[in-house]
Amino acid sequence: MLRQLQQEGIKAEDIQTIIITHGHLDHIGGLSRRGNPVFSNAEHLITAEEWNYWSERPETMESRTLAPLKDHITFVQSGCHICPGISVNHTPGHTEGHLTVSIESQGTRLLAASDPVTLSHPASYIAAELDLEKGMETRQSFLQQAYTQSVQIFACHYPFPGLGGVKKSEGQWSWVTLDN
- With vertex at residue 86, the alpha carbon angle to CA 142 and CA 4, rounded to the nearest 5 degrees, is 95
* Nearest to 171, CA basis, from 135, 140, 146: 140
CB of 35 or CB of 160, closer to Zn ion: 160
Does position 50 interact with Zn ion (CB under 5 A)? The reply is no
Min CB(115)–Zn ion separation in Å: 4
Q: Which stretch binds Zn ion (CB under 5 A): 22-30, 31-39, 53-61, 78-86?
A: 22-30
Q: Which stretch binds Zn ion (CB under 5 A): 4-12, 20-28, 132-140, 152-160?
A: 20-28
Does position 132 interact with Zn ion (CB under 5 A)? The reply is no
* Among residues 50, 96, 115, 129, the one that binds Zn ion under rule CB under 5 A: 115
Please, which of residues 71-110 interact with Zn ion by CB under 5 A?
Answer: none
Burial of residue 16 (number of CB atoms within 10 Å: 0-12, 13-18, 19+): exposed
CB of 42 or CB of 99, closer to Zn ion: 99
* Among residues 17, 24, 75, 158, the one that binds Zn ion under rule CB under 5 A: 24
Min CB(176)–Zn ion separation in Å: 23
Min CB(26)–Zn ion separation in Å: 7
Please state, in angstroms and rounded to a whole number, the distance separating the CA atoms of residues 153 and 146: 7
Min CB(27)–Zn ion separation in Å: 6
Q: Which residue is nearest to Zn ion (CB)?
A: 24
Residues forming the site for Zn ion (CB under 5 A): 24, 115
